[in-house]
Amino acid sequence: MKKILYTSIAVSVMLLLITVGYFYNQYKLVEKTVGEMQISFDKDNNSIREKVKKSESVLFLLLGIGDRPGDPGRADSIMCISVNQTDKSILMFNIPRDTRTEIIGKGIQDKINHSYAYGRTEMTKNTVEHFLGQSIDYVVQINMQGMRQLVDTFDGIEVENAFAFSQGDELGQQTYHFDKGLIQLDGERALHYSRMRKKDPRGDLGRNERQRQVLQALVQKATAFSSVLKIKEVVGVLGENIKTNISFEEMKFFYSQFAKEWKNYDIETMEIKGNDKTIDGIYYYTVSDEERENIADRLEEHLNSGFVKK
């Protein structure tokens, strides 16, 4: 009987050591990969990190970059996420990529997504900060093809589609159909689902909403316990397709804060209102000074006070 007991204990200890070894190796892999993902800006991050430690509000900028052959890339998606840790609330909104604004560092009026082609991530960050009148704390830049790989790594996502539509690929070789209602998307379909604009009566605003749907579905999958077993695959995809100024220590903090709690956060979205306008033969989305002030005030309010309870 004692021999069986000792054998059982020995096997349990071995399994525990193997498990600890596995997670330690994955931990070191994540740490190494995050180090390779790092980008830095002129602004010192120490004050930002103090905000995080004190559970103050932080503002994230998510850039979806469309890298095409022979093209330096443009920001296909520009999404801002304000996280109020005290109020446990999140405010999300997209800046339409065709929005006409001053490109900071270039000194011209152009589409906001062209800022990436002119000066990569830092110029886009500076231009968005100028447009919003608010400093960006963290930037996450993802290659849109990386989003496709990430969705596939999580075995697909589910989203609620507002209306049925079809969308062709860029080469005109294949058409994807999306039914109305709850639909399952693999990586390729998720990419085309989030890119459709012309068949949506809301245009860019409708596309922005689909991009937010895909992001929220990915976050839900990423924070599920089952995703821990796919950490190596996920890290591989992220390392190849993401650049950020969030350090490894900060990522661990955010994960500890949000992995279990994010479902308890109130999430609100808002739209930037504007008008379609053609200037010198080029299409733009124009936003009035009054609307920019409204957006800046709403963002400032959320960062400082969260959502006003009604």
**pLDDT digit string (tens) for 115-165?**
999 999 999 999 999 999 999 999 988 887 788 888 998 889 999 999 999
273 three-state secondary structure: coil
159 three-state secondary structure: strand
Whether pLDDT at 3 is above 50: no
With b meaning 16 or more CB within 10 Å and e meaning fewer, what string describes 181-207?
A: eebebebebbbbbbbbbeebeeebbbb
Dist CA 208 CA 194 (whole Å)? 8
Cα–Cα nearest to 113, from 191, 32, 204, 190? 204
**pLDDT digit string (tens) for 227-281?**
667 777 877 887 888 888 888 888 877 777 766 676 788 888 899 999 999 999 9
Dist CA 258 CA 216 (whole Å)? 13
**Amino acid letter at 105?**
G
Dist CA 213 CA 132 (whole Å)? 23
CB neighbourhood size of 290 (10 A): 9
Between 19 and 168, where is the model more confident?
168
What is this structure's pTM? 0.77
Contact indicator for 153, 240 with CB cutoff of 8 Å: no
CB neighbourhood size of 242 (10 A): 20
Cα distances from 30 to residues 36, 59, 114, 209, 244, in angstroms, run 10, 24, 32, 31, 14
Contact indicator for 249, 117 with CB cutoff of 8 Å: no
Whether pLDDT at 225 is above 80: no
42 three-state secondary structure: coil
Contact indicator for 73, 66 with CB cutoff of 8 Å: yes
Enumerate the β-bridge partners of residue 66. 74
Domains identified in the chain and CATH numbers = 38-305 (3.40.630.190)
* Residue 113, Ramachandran bin (φ over 0: left; ψ between -120 and 50: alpha; else beta): alpha
Contact indicator for 204, 96 with CB cutoff of 8 Å: yes
